[in-house]
Amino acid sequence: MVNITYSLVIPVYLNQSSIPRLLQALEEMHQRLDRELEVVFVVDGSPDQSYALLRDALPSLPYPAQLLGHSRNFGSFPAVRSGLLAARGRYFAVMAADLQEPPELILDFFRALKADECDVAIGTRNSRNDPPLSRLASSLFWGLYRRVIAPEMPEGGVDVFGCDRAFRDQLLQLEESRSSLIALIFWLGFRRKLVGYDRRERQEGKSSWTLRKRIDYMRDSIFAFSDLPIRLLMRLGVIGSALSLSLGAVIILAKLLGVIQVPGYAATMLAVLCLGALNLLGLGLVGTYAWRAYENSKQRPLAIVSMRMSNHPPREPEKG
């Protein structure tokens, strides 16, 4: 019986070009972890040959490995969640398939967790070797994220983490639809350790973390963890009410003084348009919150695993 102490979850999407390097790095990591590593690959509806390459390599891998395939693309958080659910170790970590986060970082996670220094280890970027435009976009994104959603967020953001079984079990109990994995990690609390690393330059392909996905992720995070839209709407309502009262007082005074002979069409239309826009904005914000509450009430699974393979017979997870 192979001893599994460490489980590494790797979401896979459009990574076929990096898989050969990934498998080599995992073999070296397995040796450095006294051959107690398990790897869980989760192919999140990737349209390339990622699943086929991993399926063909699975029987010959020198470490216990599972290969899960989602029925379609559900997103990175559901992929991580599927992997954590299937993992059988005592300590867990999540790593990107493109190897921009060095494998040494995962080893640091496992060392800190095994030494009971923390319940969750979080990778923080000391530097990143991305193009200037990408660095600027990332800096703006995570700066806004820290200001609006999670003030404890490191300046460079978070992509990977490791945790013990207690933290993993609590994280998996949170079955929120369209939420933010990173925000949930900070919301849960527990003993936390930040582990710095230098992010590597991407060697193959293009990042799937597009501007549109950044915007969607920010929107999901704001509506899941912040009441900022409601507070902004309330402030707009207060400002609009104050302006309306002021304008009303001016109009009444002008009418009493005989300045206004004919009711002003422009002023009337301006007031109608402003109030109408505020009403539509309010309905949109309230509708968004209501729709997300409805989505969570349906209790649909966050992802569907349609394919599952393993090169090692299943066994019960270790207690601890």
The identity of residue 233, as a single letter, is L
pLDDT at 311 over 90: no
182 Cβ contact list (under 8 Å, min separation 6)? 150, 153, 157, 158
Helices (H), the chain: 19-32, 50-57, 76-86, 103-114, 132-148, 165-173, 181-188, 211-225, 228-256, 265-298
Q: How far apart are CA 278 and CA 276, in angstroms?
A: 5
- The reported pTM is 0.71
* pLDDT cut 90: percent of the chain above it: 32
- The CA-atom distances, in angstroms, between 263 and each of 250, 251, 257, 259, 275 are 13, 10, 14, 11, 19
What string of DSSP letters covers 105-157?
A: HHHHHHHHHHTTS-SEEEEEEEEE-S-HHHHHHHHHHHHHHHHHT-TTS-TT-
What is the rounded distance in angstroms from the CA atom of residue 252 to the CA atom of residue 78?
A: 59
* pLDDT at residue 318 is higher than 50: no
Q: Please, how many CA atoms are within 13 Å of residue 18, restricted to the half-sphere of its CB?
A: 22
Question: What average pLDDT is seen over the chain?
Answer: 79
192 or 248, which is more confident: 192
Give domain limits for the chain: 6-225+302-310, 228-298
Q: What is the CATH number of domain 6-225+302-310?
A: 3.90.550.10
Task: Compute the average pLDDT of residues 34-52.
Answer: 92
Give 86-113 pLDDT, tens digit per residue: 999 999 999 988 888 888 999 999 999 9
